[in-house]
Structure 1
Amino acid sequence: MITVISPDYFKTIPWKNGLGSTTELAISSGGKLDDFAWRLSIATVDNNGVFSDFSGYQRDLVLIAGKGITLEHDGKSTDNLTKLLDVAHFDGGSKTVGTLSHGSIKDFNIMTKQGHYSAKVNTYTNKQVVTMPAQSELVFVYSLSSYCQVSQASLTTSVPTGSLARIDNDEHLSKHDISISGENMIVIELTKVT
């Protein structure tokens, strides 16, 4: 089943560390601010500083606006996000310090509870068609700058810029691959850990 979630249904919630707010696009059923199986959100980062502690979670952070940010994790490893749709993958329990390159940025954040869900995050800047395997459990598509299309079986849905498509695979559709076409888009596949 393909569902398009428009920005009208996104929620603004405070950061866990209280130093800002995030726009929650989608969260697992019954999920709360600090207890969820998975969550997708967008945040604006205006200042350098320590990220909220999300011990027990994996994080994928995608640069969607701005001139870049450097993420230092536990003083040991570094991610430099300098181009649109660059991705960092890190442990939410790490002490992560963000340093802005030239002014504020906006990021798309995917968090999954370790031992419950895993995330596979791919970004596409050029126009193309992406095929997800039929057995994909839960897929999300977010388009930054143009409409994208999502198709499965005989269903085709247009996803407006700034909206989120959610593709839930059910028994009826699970025999059909998912086709996604567009550009400047983020494709997220969430899988239950068994």
Structure 2
Amino acid sequence: EMRSYLKRKFYAADNYSEITVAPLGRSSEFSEIFHVFLGSKEKHFDLYVYTKEDGIYAVRVLAQTAIIEAIVSEYEKFNEAQKREFEQRTDADIINLKLILAPDKELMEFGKQNLAAFEKIYELYAGGESERAKAEIKSLHLSHAETSGKRFMLLIGGITDNSVGFLRVQDEADLPQMSPSEFIMIEKIAPNWYLFKTT
């Protein structure tokens, strides 16, 4: 059904060399939630498809990325001197912007590679050492950390409420439910740690 939907809609499945569809989870409202990856040399989409018994209910993607994509695209056209000047003049963190745009599979790998650093940041915040934690966050090219109830989040970034980051909970029961209106995807990378996107 999803492949047929893609052929009818904007995403035009025939333009992509890699298409994968994998279950992402369930929620109290939806019978299944799927992760659909569309990839080619030029572009990629990570889509989150919400289904009910009678078919597809909603399709979501990290929104409002066009400005970030434009900045990264222009930056890639610069020579090395221009790149240095741009970074000094704007204080932009291009690695951070690229992480925001990265495919989920790359973000999952980034998360797995940096789990020890994530835990260190979590422990620093828990111990009241927020300045040291902020330095660690910056070294990983992340934006900031925040807490919400029993959830600890390391934000990569995004535009307004369209964000991507890593979420830590001690108990899986404290995870938010996925929905088309807030946490559009949550995927486990290790015990207590998850990749997430919001809208």
The two structures have a TM-score, normalised by structure 1, of 0.30
The two structures have a TM-score, normalised by structure 2, of 0.30
Larger Rg: 2
More helix by percentage = 2
More strand by percentage = 1
